[in-house]
Amino acid sequence: MAGGRMSALSLPIDGGASSEFRAFRARTPLFSVSAGRVLVTLTLPERLGASDVEFARGLAEQAAAYAVEVERLYRSGRSYSSGRSSSGRSGKGRAA
């Protein structure tokens, strides 16, 4: 992130959490994540640029990697506390 302040939000995910994609004919799409009493919706400007496409692709790649890791942990039967990964890998801070 280039300068300025940054806000952080951590959403504990459980069986009641959900995500939703909504496409519209006359406006940009919405992507939402709901957990507990918190709803986060990603919105875009009405006029899209190449950086918006890059962000969406990065978000999809990071979400796919997250799904693979969650499934791996589930199949291993191990329990972990929530928190930052110790792998040191980052999604360039764009899709976190």
Q: What are phi and psi of 55, to 5 degrees?
A: -60, -45
Are the CB atoms for 29 and 23 separated by under 8 Å? yes
Structural domain contains residue 85:
no
Structural domain contains residue 36:
yes
Is the predicted pLDDT of residue 96 greater than 90, yes or no? no
- Alpha helices (H) along 1-96: 50-76
Are the CB atoms for 52 and 44 separated by under 8 Å? yes
Structural domain contains residue 12:
no
The count of residues in the chain is 96
Are the CB atoms for 16 and 8 separated by under 8 Å? no
Q: Name the domain count of the chain.
A: 1
Structural domain contains residue 54:
yes
pLDDT digits (tens, 9 = 90+) for 3-60: 789 999 899 999 999 999 999 999 999 999 999 999 999 999 999 999 999 999 999 9
Structural domain contains residue 31:
yes
Structural domain contains residue 87:
no
Q: Band the pLDDT of 83: cuts 50, 70, 90.
A: low
Parent domain of 72 = 18-76
Structural domain contains residue 9:
no
**Position 33, amino acid:** V
